[in-house]
Amino acid sequence: MSATLSQEVRDRAATLREEIDGHNYRYYVLDEPSVPDAEYDRLLRELQALESEYPELVTPDSPTQRVGAEPLAAFEPVRHETPMLSLGNAFSNEEVEQFHARALKTLETEHIDYVAEPKLDGVAMSLRYRDGLLERAATRGDGQTGENVTSNARTIDAIPLRLRGAGWPEELEVRGEVYMPLAGFEEYNRRMAETEGKALVNPRNAASGSLRQLDPQLTAQRPLAFFAYSVAGQSAISDSHFEILEQLREWGFPVNPLVKRVRDAEGCIAYYEEIGAMRDDLAYDIDGVVFKVESQREQETLGFVSRAPRWAIAQKFPAQEEITQLLDIDIQVGRTGALTPVARLEPVFVGGVTVTNATLHNIDEIRRKDVRVGDWVVVRRAGDVIPEVARVVLERREGRPKEFQMPETCPVCGSDVERVEGEAVSRCTGGLVCKAQRKQSLMHFASRRAMDIEGLGSKLIDQLVENDLVHSVADLYRLEKEQLMALERMGEKSADNLVEQLEKSKTPPLDRLLYALGIREVGEVTATSLARHFESLERLAAASEDDLIEVPDVGPIVAQHVHHFFQQPENLEVIEALEQAGVQWQALESIGGDQPLEGQTWVLTGALSVPRARAKQWLESLGAKVAGSVSGNTTTLVAGEAAGSKLAKAEKLGVEVLDEAALFELVRSHGIDPD
C-alpha cells in the first residue's frame, strides 16, 4: 500500500519532471548545460524516491522511465509507412554540380536553395510520437521494414519522451541519426580496458551495436546521442525543410547546429569545404555532408529514382579509417633514444593520402591492442595527425602469430636498450654514439623553429653523419666548403649556400638556442620561459632544481631534465664548442614589466601563419592566460583560418573574436614583432 498522495507531492513530482526535462533540453538541444551533473542526478533521485513511494505518480514519459523495460527475446519487425530512403553519393565537386544542373533543369529555374547538413556516421532512427508522446522507435532495416527498438531508444537522453511546447500534429514521425560522441566512445573503451571488457570497434559500429542489444539496460550504459534531420513524408509544418528543423528544435529535438541554408552548387561546395576544415574538431564522426532541396514543393517535383531522392545528395569526405595488412614492425630511434615501433603496411588510401607506415606508439600500446605481424588492422588518419594503427580486426587473424618483442639492443648502434620502471618508452643508451640519435638531434637543431638552417635537411644530415664529418651539433659550424663539395650530389653553389646559412644562424635568440639543444621536455614554450627567467645561458646552466621550479610552467620533471642536461660534461663541451665556433645567443628583447592583458583569458583556434605556441607566448608575455577551450570566462578568441566549433561557441557566448591580422596589430602595438 502506498501512502496517500497529497496535491503537494503531485505538484512536486510535476515540477521535478519539468525541471529535469528542461535541463535535458538545454543540454542536448541548446548545447548550453545549465546545471552540474551532480545537481541533475539529485533531481532525478528525488523524483525516483517520490515515484517509488507513490507508484501511481509514474507516467510513461517520466525521465525515470528511460530504463526499466525487460529484455526482449527478439526485435519485432516494423513496417515503415513512408520508406526510409538512402542517399546518392557525390565524390567530387563536379558530381555536386551535375546533381544541381539536373535539378535546375527539372525545376525549370535558375537558382535552388538547399539545406546543407553534416552527415553523421551513426544509425538512422525513426521516432513516432502520438499526442506528443514517444510511441515507437524503429531502425531503418532495409528501408521498408526495420526493427522495433523502442525500449532501447528510450534510454537515450537526447531523444525526447514527450514533446515540448505546442502545435505538434497528433501523429508525428521524426527521423534522425543515433550516434556515439567520440568522447563517450573513448571513455567507454577506457573503462572496458580497465575491466577487461570488450572494446567497441568504432563509434559507428558502437551506435548500431548498442541499439541492437536485446537488454535495454545494456543500451543505457552506452553513451549515445541523437540529431533529428527530417520528418517522414510531406509535412504540413512548413514548405521549408529548414523551418521544419527549427520547429523540431522547439519541440525538443536536438538538431545539428551546423545545419545551414545555402544557394546553388557553389553554396554547397563552399559548405563542404567549411565543414571539412572543422571535421577533426567535431565531437563526433561525420563521413560527409548532405544537401537537400529546401522546398518540399520542389522536392515533390523532383521525386525519386529507385530508393534515393532526386532532391538530396551526400558529398563524402575521404575515409579516415581503412583496413589493411600489417606486413612488419620496424623500430625507429628518435632524438632522445626513444624506440618507436612502426607498422609497415600494405599501402592503403586513407584520409586523402596513401599510407605505408603508421605509428604503434610503444610496446604497451602493442600489447593493449594485441597487434601482431600479419594481422589485418584498422589504420586511422585524421587530418594532419600521424597515421596510427587504431586496432586489430581479430576476426580476420589467421593462425597464431607470435607476440612482438622490443629488441634488447638498439637496432642502429647496438647499445643496450633500457626501459625505465613505470615508463612506456624503451630507450637506446648509446647517446651521441648512436647514429640515429645523432641524426635526429641534428635535424632538430637545424629545424625551422630551432636554429632555422635552411638547406640542411635529412638527406644531407645522413651523409654528414655517415661520412663522420659531424658528431655533435657544434661540428656543423666547422664544416668547410671543400668538405661539403666532396659529398655526393653537392655542387659548389649548394655548398656556398649552406656555409652562408650556417653563418647566418650564429646569432639565435636565447630561447631558440635552448630549444635547439634538444633538452628533454623542453619545447618552445618552456625554452622561452627559461630564457626570460634566467636571461643568460650561464645563469641557466648554474641553476639548481629548486631555482628551476620557480619558473612559470616548469615542474619537477622538467627541472630535473634541465638540471641533468647541464651536469653532463659532454653537453657543456658542445656548448663551449658552439661558442668557440662563433655561435652567440641574443638576449630576448624585454617586453618591459608591462602586462596590459593581465587578468584576461584568451583562446587560440583555427590555422595561424605562426606556430600556435608562439602566439601563445606573445599573449602570455603581455599578461594574458591562454586556455584551451571557450567558456564564460573567455575574454577574446583568436580565430585563424577554418576555425570551427570554438568560433561558433564564442559567437554564441558573445566573446570578442579577433582574426590573425588583428592579433598581429595588437602585439605590435606592445612592442612585439610578429614577423
| Catalytic residue ranges | 119
Check binding of 120 to ligand IVH (CB under 6 A): yes
Check binding of 271 to ligand IVH (CB under 6 A): no
Out of 140, 204, 381, 616, point to the residue binding ligand IVH (CB under 6 A).
140
Check binding of 249 to ligand IVH (CB under 6 A): no
Write the CB contacts of 11 (distance below 8 Å, at least 6 apart in sequence). Answer: none
Span from 20-28, 117-125, 415-423, 540-548 in contact with ligand IVH (CB under 6 A): 117-125
Count of residues binding ligand IVH (CB under 6 A)?
14
Span from 49-57, 114-122, 433-441, 536-544 in contact with ligand IVH (CB under 6 A): 114-122
How far apart are CB 259 and ligand IVH at their closest, in Å? 8
| HSE (side-chain half, CA atoms, 13 Å) at 257 | 16
CA torsion 330-334-336-339 (nearest 10°) is -10
Nearest CB to ligand IVH, comparing residues 290 and 413: 290
Nearest CB to ligand IVH, comparing residues 126 and 150: 126
Nearest CB to ligand IVH, comparing residues 87 and 615: 87
Check binding of 86 to ligand IVH (CB under 6 A): yes
Out of 174, 225, 293, 312, point to the residue binding ligand IVH (CB under 6 A).
312
Check binding of 119 to ligand IVH (CB under 6 A): yes
Q: Is the Cβ–Cβ distance between 438 and 570 less than 8 Å?
A: no
Residues 518, 540: Cα–Cα separation, whole Å:
15
Check binding of 309 to ligand IVH (CB under 6 A): yes
How far apart are CB 174 and ligand IVH at their closest, in Å? 12
Residue 212-231 contact track with ligand IVH, rule CB under 6 A, x = bound:
-----------------xx-
Residue 227: which of 86, 127, 84 has the closest Cα? 127
How far apart are CB 67 and ligand IVH at their closest, in Å? 25
Nearest CB to ligand IVH, comparing residues 118 and 216: 118
Residue nearest to ligand IVH (CB): 124
How far apart are CB 184 and ligand IVH at their closest, in Å? 18
Nearest CB to ligand IVH, comparing residues 28 and 477: 28
Q: Is the Cβ–Cβ distance between 602 and 619 less than 8 Å?
A: yes
Q: Is the Cβ–Cβ distance between 192 and 137 less than 8 Å?
A: no
Residues 111, 117: Cα–Cα separation, whole Å:
19
Check binding of 298 to ligand IVH (CB under 6 A): no
Nearest CB to ligand IVH, comparing residues 310 and 344: 310
Span from 82-90, 210-218, 272-280, 461-469 in contact with ligand IVH (CB under 6 A): 82-90
Strand partners, 533: none
How far apart are CB 291 and ligand IVH at their closest, in Å? 10
Check binding of 90 to ligand IVH (CB under 6 A): no
Check binding of 87 to ligand IVH (CB under 6 A): yes
Nearest CB to ligand IVH, comparing residues 115 and 603: 115
Span from 115-123, 130-138, 202-210, 527-535 in contact with ligand IVH (CB under 6 A): 115-123
How far apart are CB 66 and ligand IVH at their closest, in Å? 23
Span from 81-89, 382-390, 475-483, 666-674 in contact with ligand IVH (CB under 6 A): 81-89
List phi, psi (to 5°) of 114.
Answer: -120, 155
Structure-block grid coordinates of residue 606: 583555427
Out of 147, 157, 177, 375, point to the residue binding ligand IVH (CB under 6 A).
177
Out of 117, 375, 475, 511, point to the residue binding ligand IVH (CB under 6 A).
117
List phi, psi (to 5°) of 354.
Answer: -85, 125
Residues 28, 260: Cα–Cα separation, whole Å:
19
Check binding of 470 to ligand IVH (CB under 6 A): no
Span from 39-47, 119-127, 365-373, 453-461 in contact with ligand IVH (CB under 6 A): 119-127
Residue 619: which of 607, 592, 601 has the closest Cα? 601
Residue 478: which of 503, 453, 450, 460 has the closest Cα? 503
Convert 197-251 into a string of H (helix), E (strand) and C (coil). CCCCCCHHHHHHHHHCCCCHHHHHCCCCEEEEEEECCCCCCCCEHHHHHHHHHHC
Q: Is the Cβ–Cβ distance between 40 and 20 less than 8 Å?
A: yes
* Helical H segments across 556-632, by residue range: 556-567, 569-580, 612-621
Nearest CB to ligand IVH, comparing residues 230 and 362: 230
Q: Is the Cβ–Cβ distance between 437 and 336 less than 8 Å?
A: yes
Listed in order, strand segments (DSSP E) in 32-170 are: 77-79, 88-90, 113-120, 123-130, 133-139, 145-147
From residue 332, give the alpha-carbon distance in Å to each of 329, 340, 555: 10, 5, 29
Determine the length of the chain: 675
How far apart are CB 178 and ligand IVH at their closest, in Å? 9
Out of 158, 174, 265, 290, point to the residue binding ligand IVH (CB under 6 A).
290
Q: What is the CA radius of gyration of the chain?
A: 31
Check binding of 85 to ligand IVH (CB under 6 A): yes
Span from 80-88, 379-387, 396-404, 561-569 in contact with ligand IVH (CB under 6 A): 80-88
Residues 389, 151: Cα–Cα separation, whole Å:
36
Write the CB contacts of 231 (distance below 8 Å, at least 6 apart in sequence). Answer: 172, 173, 174, 175, 237, 244, 248
Residue numbers of the site for ligand IVH (CB under 6 A)? 85-87, 117, 119-120, 124, 140, 177, 229-230, 290, 309, 312
